[in-house]
């Protein structure tokens, strides 16, 4: 600490500045340059604002003890005006009051433990050089993309005012009555709009009618509760809608998926499309819960916080199963990284900035929770520039108390445990059901939550303690997700009725309106139904762990949702109306008519260049720069990890997780290909189910014991063409599930992923379906990777190659639009089962599927993973199809020469020996040769 004289005058708080260090300055400067600001250099410091008992003696004690770093740059105390060195621009940023701030909270707590009572707030300071010539508009762009997110922070040139959250505020109990009865449709539309309810006109009408019949107007909280409960996010109203097409009405989409699963009667499905997660039990008797969610809108406006709480949210879904989380997945879709920032739509963050924030957000939550992030995908397309997609998935091991969860009984207590409630993330469910525009970032500020993974870690520990026993202390539980307490309490009490008092809810700070407490999406909270006799014990255990825990009311028996704030009634609604009163949505769809005529065009290409271009395409190129930021090893159960080979240099297909104490485990495979969806949504569904199945088969999992998850991210379903694509995709999903004998057990839809530019033009994302396969791995010791294992081994291609280029990456790198999307392969399921048998017999050394870029990319990736060479022949006159077609149902197997007869005997005409593994690191295909170094350089780019 520098010896700065302290004066008692000046600002009412002390300020400690601590340089972040060279690693941070380098990263920021590099990012600024990536955004096109070549001459700019940045230097960053953390700011800690302190007030309260901040006399000199206390500060001289606190700063070295809690803030200064040995061996690092010293923190210094600053009082009065910031001095700005000549030629530098100083920008200070402060976190807004009320936004979750673990550092500030820890600082205050640790200071108190040391005997100093202080309040703390945090911020950052950036010193910028080389920005002298920048126009104000560019400077603002740089600040909003790199230094500060106005959604959660304030900033200024020079000194910023800190946002102390504990500022005393008046406790408020205002309950507003919203006049609704007797309003004409325009009046209802105005209220719908002003309050951002995101309800359909027919739904507003139904609400008004109901209250008219009751003879009263709704309270603010009642209206918000209905809007949250009826949102697409919570009630899947598009998936439950009646849809009219030219070919007549279709069965509601969710029912199609459910009935497909039911008809398959798979013995391993324990629970499908019910509760927070799907549950399966494979042959080893271990029950697994699985769920995947999207957090797209929040990630668009606050990438770190949005992705961070996306992971936190899906983990809570699995905790609520109830299960112990053991693996995470993430599928990310961004705009192109190199986009010129002058071409960005208004109010949209740069794709590179979104990607950096999202990846850091995913990494931060999973790493701190101690759950390995093991599988995923990253796609780039201009269609995702304004609407990035963040799919987060979680698998958990179901706790022993699952069988005893009877549901709430009248008289049970309603407990809220985890984090305290603040003004964060209000209206998330309705926000996610809206279209975004240039002002979304400003008005939706309160819709973004900031997570605190350490709290969730402790919530997980608490739930394991309460529920991983034959006599659980809890009768029912759910997480606080979208809609906060309004959804969670409303859902849990649906069959009984429930009565709660908002005064009893633990708050982060005073000043919240009752409806805000009720709607807040403050993170890391669970709602538990606990028998009265156990309530005290549960609260005590939660508080022992340092968690917030409160008893807010009881389950009744009157089937009403009753919410009060002390003596004041806030909500009084019958469950029947809340959960069944929404008029069924009626929508019209125009089904797509894809071109499926046989492709007669013989393609020619510069083959050596095309393969390198494919390997370097961002969708195919190595994702190691992202993967290595995720802890994929914690829990010690990772067997097949996301990077393959002893140098972790190649891509994996499926990943395998098996606790070291058990012989068996599970595999995760991911299928996603939005480009196919642009041309043929139904065949896209087949293709991505096939990809997920290929992935798990390639890692040694059993394709006959596999469950699927569907996650749809789509545009506005009220546009008939967009909905038609969705209808065709669901049809494809159901057909594929039947074909592969792999039932869907859970799913989620995120619709309205659209952006309205200031000139009124709408941009929708490409139709994006993510399929996750969760498969049984009977013998984890037999699982295999994609990297080549040994020279002399033989390579076998299984499956049939035809000319299929529609939506292919060959088309993408050769700027072609022709061809058809790969067609379903009815022979694939039986073949995958035979391959699984061969893997179990120990006859396959490695396996890699053929996907984006075709066979040439597959072979190159196997070589890169094993740092070994391949010599293969092609006897197909249509070289482009042989190398780059994306026909489904294909895998390349690496086999010892002596096992070839057995392999060919099992796979018959579906298998063909195409070459062998050699020691020299190169790829030799027909008459062409690439060095391993060239392949690796193309695929790994600057990271190699």
Q: What residues line the site for other proteins (CB under 8 A)?
A: 21, 23-24, 26-27, 65-67, 69-72, 102-103, 105-107, 110, 113-114, 360, 363, 367-370, 452-454, 457-458, 544-546, 628-636, 638-641, 643-646, 648, 658, 660-661, 780-781, 783-785, 787, 789-790
C-alpha 909: how far from chain center: 41
CA separation, residue 919 to residues 629, 707, 914 (Å): 31, 39, 17
d(CA 349, CA 300): 7
Give the residue with the Cβ less far from other proteins, 110 or 129.
110
CB atoms near residue 109 (< 10 Å): 12
Beta strands (DSSP E) in 419-473 are 436-437
Query: For residue 384, what are its two tokens?
Result: 């995702």
- Tokens representing 911? 């298998």
Residue 341 appears among annotated catalytic residues = no
The dihedral built from the CA positions of residue 819, 824, 830 and 834, taken in this order, carries a sign that is positive
Nearer Cβ to other proteins, position 24 or 195?
A: 24
Token readout for 825 is 């392969």
CB-nearer residue toward other proteins: 353 or 458: 458
Distance in Å, CB of 706 to other proteins, minimum: 20
Please write down the HEC assignment for all residues of 243-276. EEECCEEECCHHHHHHHHHHHHCCCCEEECCCCC
Q: Taking Cα atoms as reference points, which of 377, 436, 428 lies closest to residue 768?
A: 377
State the minimum distance, in angstroms, from the CB of residue 634 to other proteins.
6
Least separation in angstroms between residue 784's CB and other proteins is: 7
Q: Which listed residue (233, 297, 341, 809) is catalytic?
A: 233
Q: Which is nearer to other proteins, 105 or 913 (CB)?
A: 105
Closest approach of other proteins to the CB of residue 68, in Å = 9
List of E strands, 480-608: 498-501, 525-530, 548-555, 560-565, 568-574, 586-588
Rounded-to-integer distance, Cα 299 and Cα 358, Å: 7
DSSP state of 473: S
| CA angle 541–545–551, rounded 5-degree value | 50
For residues 798 and 796, give the distance between their C-alpha atoms in angstroms, rounded to a whole number: 6
Query: Which of 10, 16, 40, 12 has the alpha carbon at shortest distance from 28?
Result: 40
Write down the least CB distance from residue 402 to other proteins, Å.
Answer: 21
Name the residue among 66, 55, 60 with its Cα closest to residue 18.
Answer: 66
Q: How far is the CB of 292 from other proteins (least distance, A)?
A: 22
For the bound state, the minimum distance from the C-beta of residue 360 to other proteins, rounded and expressed in Å, comes to: 7
Report the residue number, 224 or 456, with the smaller CB distance to other proteins. 456
Least spacing, CB of residue 162 vs other proteins, in Å = 17
Name the residue nearer to other proteins (CB basis): 114 or 406: 114
Is 295 considered catalytic here?
Answer: yes
Of 158 and 790, CB closest to other proteins: 790
- Judged by CB, which is closer to other proteins: 7, or 71? 71
Q: Are 523 and 450 in contact (CB under 8 A)?
A: yes
Question: In terms of CB distance, is 606 or 633 closer to other proteins?
Answer: 633
Q: How far apart are CA 742 and CA 734, in angstroms?
A: 10
Strand 922-925 and strand 869-872: pairing?
parallel
d(CA 96, CA 151): 9
Answer for the pair 705, 840: CB distance below 8 angstroms, yes or no.
no
Residue among 69 and 606 whose Cβ is closer to other proteins: 69
Please tell me the number of Cα atoms within 13 Å of 563 on its side-chain side.
Answer: 28
Instruction: Name the minimum Å distance from CB 789 to other proteins.
Output: 6
Q: How far is the CB of 923 from other proteins (least distance, A)?
A: 20
Catalytic residue among 295, 341, 686, 776: 295
Q: In whole angstroms, what is the distance from residue 375 CA to residue 363 CA?
A: 13
Active site positions, annotated: 233, 295
């Amino acid at each position: 600490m520098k010896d700065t004289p302290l004066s008692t005058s000046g600002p009412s708080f002390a300020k400690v500045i601590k340089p972040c260090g060279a690693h941070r300055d380098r990263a920021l400067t590099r990012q600024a340059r990536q955004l096109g600001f070549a001459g700019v250099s940045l230097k960053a410091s953390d700011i800690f604002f302190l007030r309260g008992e901040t006399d000199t003696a206390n500060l001289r004690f606190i700063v070295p003890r809690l803030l200064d770093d040995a061996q690092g740059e010293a923190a210094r105390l600053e009082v009065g005006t910031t001095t700005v060195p000549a030629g530098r621009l100083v920008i200070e940023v402060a976190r807004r009051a009320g936004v979750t701030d673990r550092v500030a909270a820890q600082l205050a707590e640790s200071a108190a433990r040391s005997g100093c009572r202080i309040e703390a707030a945090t911020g950052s300071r950036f010193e910028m050089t080389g920005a002298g010539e920048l126009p104000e508009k560019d400077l603002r762009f740089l600040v909003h993309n790199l230094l500060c997110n106005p959604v959660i922070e304030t900033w200024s040139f020079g000194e910023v005012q800190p946002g102390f959250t504990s500022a005393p505020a008046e406790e408020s109990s205002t309950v507003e009555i919203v006049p609704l009865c007797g309003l004409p449709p325009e009046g209802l539309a105005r209220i719908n709009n002003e309050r951002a309810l995101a309800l359909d006109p027919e739904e507003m009408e139904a609400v008004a009618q109901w209250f008219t019949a009751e003879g009263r107007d709704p309270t603010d909280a009642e209206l918000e509760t209905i809007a949250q409960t009826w949102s697409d996010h919570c009630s899947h109203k598009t998936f439950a809608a009646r849809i009219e097409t030219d070919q007549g009405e279709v069965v509601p989409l969710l029912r199609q998926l459910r009935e497909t699963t039911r008809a398959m009667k798979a013995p391993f499905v324990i629970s499908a499309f019910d509760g927070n997660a799907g549950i399966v039990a494979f042959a080893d008797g271990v029950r697994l819960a699985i769920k995947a969610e999207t957090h797209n809108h929040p990630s668009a406006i606050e990438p770190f916080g949005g992705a961070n709480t996306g992971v936190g949210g899906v983990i809570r879904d699995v905790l609520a199963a109830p299960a112990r989380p053991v693996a995470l997945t993430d599928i990310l879709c961004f705009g192109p990284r190199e986009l010129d920032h002058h071409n960005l739509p208004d109010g949209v963050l740069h794709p590179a900035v979104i990607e950096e924030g999202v990846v850091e957000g995913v990494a931060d939550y999973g790493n701190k929770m101690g759950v390995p992030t093991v599988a995923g995908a990253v796609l780039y397309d201009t269609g995702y520039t304004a609407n990035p997609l963040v799919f987060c998935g979680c698998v958990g091991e179901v706790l022993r108390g699952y069988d005893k969860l009877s549901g709430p009984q009248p008289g049970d207590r309603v407990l809220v445990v985890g984090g305290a409630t603040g003004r964060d993330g209000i209206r998330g469910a309705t926000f996610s059901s809206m279209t975004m525009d240039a002002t979304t970032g400003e008005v939706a500020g309160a819709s973004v939550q900031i997570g605190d993974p350490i709290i969730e870690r402790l919530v997980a520990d608490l739930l394991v303690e309460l529920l991983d026993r034959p006599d659980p202390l809890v009768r029912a539980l759910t997480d606080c997700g979208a809609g906060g307490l309004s959804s969670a309490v409303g859902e849990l009490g649906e069959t009984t009725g429930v009565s709660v008092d908002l005064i009893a809810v633990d708050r982060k700070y005073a000043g919240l309106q009752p409806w805000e407490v009720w709607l807040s999406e403050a993170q890391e909270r669970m709602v538990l139904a606990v028998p009265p006799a156990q309530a005290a014990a549960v609260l005590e255990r939660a508080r022992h762990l340092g968690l917030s825990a409160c008893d807010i009311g009881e389950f009744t028996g009157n089937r009403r949702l009753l919410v009060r704030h002390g003596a004041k009634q806030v909500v009084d609604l019958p469950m029947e109306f809340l959960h069944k009163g929404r008029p069924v949505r009626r929508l019209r769809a125009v089904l797509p008519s894809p071109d499926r005529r046989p492709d007669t065009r013989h393609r020619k290409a510069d083959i050596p260049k095309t393969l390198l271009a494919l390997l370097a395409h961002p969708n195919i190129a190595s994702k190691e720069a992202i993967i290595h930021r995720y802890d994929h090893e914690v829990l010690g159960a990772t067997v097949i990890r996301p990077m393959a080979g002893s140098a972790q240099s190649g891509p994996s297909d499926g990943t395998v997780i098996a606790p070291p104490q058990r012989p068996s485990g599970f595999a995760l495979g991911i299928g996603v290909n939005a480009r196919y969806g642009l041309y043929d949504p139904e065949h896209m569904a087949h293709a991505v189910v096939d990809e997920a199945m290929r992935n798990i088969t390639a890692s040694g999992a059993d394709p006959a014991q596999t469950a699927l998850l569907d996650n749809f991210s789509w545009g506005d379903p009220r546009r008939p063409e967009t909905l038609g694509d969705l209808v065709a995709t669901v049809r494809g999903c159901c057909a594929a599930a039947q074909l592969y004998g792999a039932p869907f057990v859970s799913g989620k839809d995120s619709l309205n992923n659209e952006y309205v530019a200031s000139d009124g033009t709408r941009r929708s994302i490409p139709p994006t379906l993510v399929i996750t396969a969760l498969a049984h791995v009977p013998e984890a010791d037999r699982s295999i990777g994609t990297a080549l294992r040994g020279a002399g081994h033989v390579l076998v291609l299984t499956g049939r190659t035809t000319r299929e280029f529609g939506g292919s990456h060959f088309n993408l790198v050769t700027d072609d639009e022709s061809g058809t999307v790969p067609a379903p392969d009815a022979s694939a399921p039986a073949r995958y089962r035979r391959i699984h048998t061969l893997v179990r017999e120990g006859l396959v050394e490695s396996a890699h599927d053929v996907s984006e870029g075709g066979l040439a990319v597959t072979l190159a990736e196997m070589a890169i993973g094993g740092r070994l060479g391949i010599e293969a022949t092609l006897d197909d006159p249509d070289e482009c199809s042989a190398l780059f077609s994306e026909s489904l149902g294909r895998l390349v197997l690496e086999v010892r020469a002596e096992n070839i007869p057995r392999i060919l005997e099992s796979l018959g005409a579906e298998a063909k020996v195409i070459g062998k593994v050699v020691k020299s690191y190169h790829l030799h295909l027909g008459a062409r040769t690439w060095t391993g170094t060239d392949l690796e350089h193309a695929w790994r780019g600057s990271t190699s």
